[in-house]
Structure 1
Amino acid sequence: MVAANREMVVYCFDTLVSHYTSEEAPPPAFDGAQHPLFVTWKKVVNGGEPRLRGCIGSLEAHCLINGFREYALTSALRDRRFPPIQARELPSLECTVSILTDYETANHYLDWEAGKHGIIIEFSDPDYNSRRSATYLPEVAANEGWTKVEAIDSLMRKAGYNGAITESLRKRIKLTRYQSTLFSMHYSEYVSYVKTTRGAAPTIAGVKPGVH
């Protein structure tokens, strides 16, 4: 099984840096196996807790090279919850890549473990007679300190449902659980890696390398 690793995060940073410099990103140091994947950007300000800045991926299998190239930019620039990440934010960024594995159909909406399982919910919106779905990665519920019910309710809102959340509606949810491997790196670590492996830090106009 392919696990998330440092080279994948480096490639995501390379891709974003190349967007700002209009240069070609160096070729990735991993192969193009097919897996579902996500790219998450967080911003660390004044040594505080990292705050989400963008997170987008695919629950369907993608070639890892093409997938990380696509979602590194999509999550940084086109997550509709946030304004696009600016080049000046690079020194504050932390990137996490996730590779999703072990999809299983749950027996009911509570049949998963916070911190271990990511969850995909699908349900019918009774107000609009439409199907809704959304996912949280395995680390989300644990990081937020939610109970499983709180996580489910939050995910229903994320899916776009604005009506009353009842136990009856929760019980009609189809839940798929999955696991993931992930790897995180701060921009300063990326700069150090690039210096060590390529001999020089990345140069972006107006950005001081490695500054928190």
Structure 2
Amino acid sequence: MTILASFAVPHPPIILPEIGRGEEKKIQKTIDAYDTVMKAAADLDPDTLVITSPHAELYLDYFHIAPGSHARGDFGQFRAPQTAIDVNYDTTLASLIADEAQKTGIPAGFEGERDPELDHATMIPLYFFRKYKPLDQVKVVRIGLSGFPADVHYKLGQCIQKAADQLGRRVVFIASGDLSHKLLPEGPYGAVPEGPVFDKACTGCLDKGDFLRLLTLDRSLCTRAAECGLRSFWIMAGVWDGMALQSRLLSYEGPFGVGYGVASFYPKGPDPSRKFLLRLLQYQQKQKKQRIAHEDPYVKLARLSVETFVKTGEPAPLPDNLLPEMRTTRAGAFVSLHLHGQLRGCIGTISPIRSCVAEEILQNGISAATRDPRFPPVQPAELPDLEYNVDVLGAAEPIADVSQLDPKKYGVIVKSVLDERKGLLLPDLDGVDTVDEQIRIARQKGNIGVKEPIRLYRFQVVRHK
């Protein structure tokens, strides 16, 4: 085993004195813990630092590994361009990680680079590391995250472990990631109840090395908390596949409304009970079966619509065993598809245009799967992992101003005063916690400028999921 240690660390730019200008002292515990773990990393004298970063290139269906032999970045976007980081990449290890990932069926490699400069979530741990060891004495592999579920991130970690062992590389793994971004009302992203709940759960997992729980944290909780680094931590769990660990949470703070945790992990020796992939896959399969078993008739109809059309190219006929209300009620309806917790398509009708709500669902299911311009058509291989929501809309009513909106209770329709453009956003969406966010997204969907005059309408929904 050539993985020497791993560290979970945050990446707040304000932590650097060149940027914080005194404000960094408010997270002194984080600074002290950061110094402790990066000094420990340097003392291990690694050949390579493998860093996973939420702010490197990110794709929903691909892990991007930074290409080339050298990279540089600075903190100019944070008004400190004089603070720069230069690194040399470990091209041999990076290539072997990509090869191992491909053998495992994980889409990963060097394609799709949009910005070769180092991102701040990579540079901040390197800033602390270079206090104790010059960066020209160590190489780096920089890897972005993806929209894949926990098991795929875990498998990538296994690939990193295997590649390092094959080359005999002495590797320190750095999982860069903040925790919840929604801890305090005065913070930059506001506050939600799920923020502190997520941070307590996540830091507890890190402190105990409880990776199975970390890999199976409730997805809605994580989304609503606006977590940042969880996928980095999932990869780290895979790096330690089959190893007993000495784990410790060194610090946790959140005075700026974002959670910052620092944790360390050192190997104690092989432990077959800590091979988590099979148990994770069993958990995911159990969750999937339970989800499908509890789908109500509206969601079952949406699933039938999508699966039939994707498999055959033909629309499904209306089943005979529908609820009577689904044949007699006329209402607008939206069908939303999610894949691994990420939106995969959403199309609907604001008001009824077909004979009954069942027909609305059948047709809008096809549209969500094949005609949402934001996504390519759903493929047959994706069907087993799709999750469905059906929102049946109540009548829209005009409102005088934003005081009559509530993002948890009401959806919003934004109409341009100048022409027929309009944008709609459903209520109670993960990550949409304020009226301002609602209206901003609805304007974007309707291609309505932020300063254009608008009329506002609200509506309620009955959500089936």
TM-score by length of 2: 0.33
Q: Tell me how far 1:157 sits from its aligned partner.
A: 1.6
User: What is the RMSD of the two structures over their aligned residues, measured on CA atoms?
Assistant: 2.0
**Aligned partner letter, 1:159:** G
Greater fraction of residues in strand: 1
For 1:155-166, what aligned pairs fall within 5 Å after superposition?
155-161=442-448, 163=449, 165-166=450-451
Tell me which residue corresponds to 2:140: none
Does 1:84 find its partner at 2:380? no
Tell me which residue corresponds to 2:302: 12
Tell me which residue corresponds to 2:461: 180
Alpha-carbon distance between aligned partners in 1 of 2:299 and 2:432, rounded to the nearest angstrom: 26
Q: Tell me how far 1:58 sits from its aligned partner.
A: 0.4
- Aligned match for 2:439, one of 134, 147, 152: 152
Q: Tell me how far 1:102 sits from its aligned partner.
A: 4.5
Residue deviations 1:37-86 (CA, integer Å, cap 9, x gap): 11000011xxxxx1100000101124112111100100111100101111
Tell me which residue corresponds to 1:54: 345
Alpha-carbon distance between aligned partners in 2 of 1:105 and 1:20, rounded to the nearest angstrom: 38
Alpha-carbon distance between aligned partners in 2 of 1:40 and 1:94, rounded to the nearest angstrom: 8
Instruction: Report the secondary structure of 1:131's partner residue.
Output: coil
Greater fraction of residues in helix: 2
User: Residues 29, 131 of structure 1: CA spacing in aligned structure 2 closer, same or farther, 3 A cutoff?
Assistant: closer
Does 1:138 find its partner at 2:431? no
Q: Tell me how far 1:139 sits from its aligned partner.
A: 1.8
User: Residues 150, 70 of structure 1: CA spacing in aligned structure 2 closer, same or farther, 3 A cutoff?
Assistant: same
Q: 5+ residue gaps in structure 2?
A: 1-294
User: Residues 20, 122 of structure 1: CA spacing in aligned structure 2 closer, same or farther, 3 A cutoff?
Assistant: closer
Q: 5+ residue gaps in structure 1?
A: 45-49, 185-212
Instruction: Report the secondary structure of 2:409's partner residue.
Output: coil
- Counting aligned pairs with the same residue, the percent is 26
Q: Tell me how far 1:111 sits from its aligned partner.
A: 2.1
**8 Å contact from structure 2 (residues 408, 433) kept in 1:** no
Higher RCO (CA < 8 A, seq sep 6+): 1
- Aligned match for 2:358, one of 45, 54, 65: 65
**8 Å contact from structure 1 (residues 18, 25) kept in 2:** no
Instruction: Report the secondary structure of 1:59's partner residue.
Output: coil
Q: Tell me how far 1:103 sits from its aligned partner.
A: 2.7
- Aligned match for 1:94, one of 387, 405, 423: 387
Tell me the number of residue pairs that the alignment of Structure 1 and Structure 2 aligns: 163
Does 1:41 find its partner at 2:337? yes
Instruction: Report the secondary structure of 1:60's partner residue.
Output: coil
TM-score by length of 1: 0.70
User: Residues 76, 104 of structure 1: CA spacing in aligned structure 2 closer, same or farther, 3 A cutoff?
Assistant: same
Find the structure with the greater CA-based Rg.
Answer: 2
Instruction: Report the secondary structure of 1:75's partner residue.
Output: helix
